[in-house]
A = this chain, B = another copy of it.
Amino acid sequence: MNEIVSIYRRAHFNAAHRLFVSQWSDEENSEFFGKCSNPYYHGHNYELEVRLTGAIDPVTGFLFDMTRLKDLIKIHVEDRFDHKNLNVECAEFKHRNPTAENICVVIYNILREYIPVDIKLRVKLWETPRNYVSYPVD
């Protein structure tokens, strides 16, 4: 019987965004989201942690090749969102407010299809060192 472990890999990207509900007026957005809804945008260094959970391979001692995981994150998350304006350039956020919660769910959905089905995935996303989000919950 093989041990079940979690492995974690960190990555990061920088992006601009504004909090904005497309069915609301600018005034409603500004009232609800304050300076986070500044129409000229602001930005963050997003820090990302991807956790995989599954059985250790008894021969290699790996759950999943970290280099492959690093590359998957690079290709499907960093190259897609790094140095982008999330509201303007990323279709995922045309009708979905780019809150940390929603960005985290979007990244989970992107990565989910590249990870074997018998491996559980969780994504944690730091918007600042003091504010972060994880999805899904255990």
Q: Which residues of A contact B (CB under 8 A)?
A: 3-12, 14-17, 19, 21, 23, 32, 34-36, 38, 40-45, 53, 56, 59-63, 66-67, 82-85, 88-89, 96-102, 104-105, 128-138
Contact = CB atoms under 8 A, between A and B. Distances in A.
Count the copies. 6
B40 A88 contact: yes
B16 A60 contact: no
A136 B3 contact: yes
Contacts of A35: 82-83
B42 A101 contact: no
Given A60-B97, A61-B99, A133 B16 contact: no
A69 to B, nearest CB: 9
